[in-house]
Amino acid sequence: MGNTPKIFIGLVTHPHSRFNSEGQSSQRINELANSLSQLGINVVTLISDRNDFQSSGRVIGIGDRVRSASKQVHIEKAWDEYVWESPGSDFLTRKRGAIFFIGMFVKRAISYLFNSRSLARLANIDLSHLRVLKEGVASGADWVLIIEDDAQFADPVRTAGVLGTVLEFLGHPARSIFINLSESINTVELKVDGIVSGCNSVLALTNGSELLEISPAISNTVCANIYSFDFASEFASAIEVQGILPSVPIDWRLNQLIMEDRETPVECYWVKPGLFLQGSMHGDTNSERQS
C-alpha cells in the first residue's frame, strides 16, 4: 500500500459533546494529522459527528432492552473466563475485578431496562465507530486510528513522533493487529494487571513509554486504538453481521471479536504508559497528557 504507512484517523464525537463543544477535539485531530504528515506519513482524516441512530427513526422496544442486557451479560461472562484462563491471571486480580464488573453490569442493566436513551446513545457510538472503520478500510489505509473525543494527548508533534516510530516498527502488516494507545480503566480493575505486567517490551519509545506485546490479546477501552487494515475489516464486518440491536457497548464488541477462535491469533500491543488519557475517566479535565 505504498512505501510509507498510510493511516486513516477518525474522531468519534457527536453534535452535543462537551469534549468537542467548540471544535477543540476536531482541531487536535487535525493538528495530529498535520504532524504525522510532516513525518512523511500519508494521512486521511474523518470527523464522525453524526447521530445516525436517531436519524434512522428506529424505536427501541422492551424486547430490545432485555436482549441487549442479556447479550452483554453473556459477553462479560465469556470475557471473565477468557481472562481467568490466561497466563498471568491471579485470584486477587480476579476478585477485585469482579466487584468492578458487577457494578458496571448493574448500572448498565438498569439503564437498559428503564431508559432507552442510554441504548440509543450506545447505538450512535457503535454506528460512528462502524462508519470510521468502513471508510478507513475503503481508503486502503494500512492502519485505522480511532480516537474518541474525550481522549487527551500531549503536544501533537511528540505524539506523532511516537506513533510514527510504532508504525515504522510494525511496517505494513498483512495480519490482524490492534494497539491500545490509551490510559483508561485501571488494569487491576480490568482484571488484566498480571497479564500486562508479565508481557515483554518489544520497543522503547522516545517519550519514556514502551510498546508491549500482549498475549493473549486483551483490550482496555476503545478511547484510542489503532487497527491494522485486516483487523479493521474484520471489526467492521462483525458489527454489521451482529447488527446494531441488540445494543452492546463498542468496547464489548471488540472483546467479543478478540475472543473468537481463529487459526492465527490476533496480535495485540499496548503503548504503556499510553499516549492518550481518557478524560471522562480521569477527572474530565482539559489538560494535555504530558507524555
- pLDDT for 289 beyond 50: no
Q: CA 79, 200, 175: angle at the middle one, nearest 5?
A: 65
pTM: 0.89
List C-alpha distances in Å: 178 to 16, 166, 255, 266, 287. Answer: 29, 12, 12, 8, 27
Q: What is the pLDDT of residue 165?
A: 96
Q: If phi over 0 gives left and psi between -120 and 50 gives alpha, with beta otherwise, what is residue 277? A: beta
Return the percentage of the chain with pLDDT > 90, whole number. 61
CATH topology of domain 6-281: Spore Coat Polysaccharide Biosynthesis Protein SpsA; Chain A (3.90.550)
Q: What is the three-state SS of 20-81?
A: HCCCHHHHHHHHHHHHHHHCCCEEEEEEECCCHHHHHCCCCCHHHHHHHHHHHHHHHHHHHH
Q: What's CA 71's distance to the chain center, in Å?
A: 20
Residue the block writes with cell 494497539: 179
Domains of the chain: which residue ranges? 6-281
Q: Locate all alpha helices (DSSP H) within 85-192, ordered by sequence.
A: 91-114, 116-138, 156-170
| Cell output for 60 | 427501541
Give tens-digit pLDDT for 206-231: 889 999 999 999 999 999 999 999 99
- φ and ψ at residue 87, rounded to 5 degrees: -60, 135
What is the torsion angle, in degrees rounded to the nearest 10, for the CA atoms of residue 255, residue 256, residue 257 and residue 262? 110
Give tens-digit pLDDT for 87-106: 665 555 454 456 665 766 67
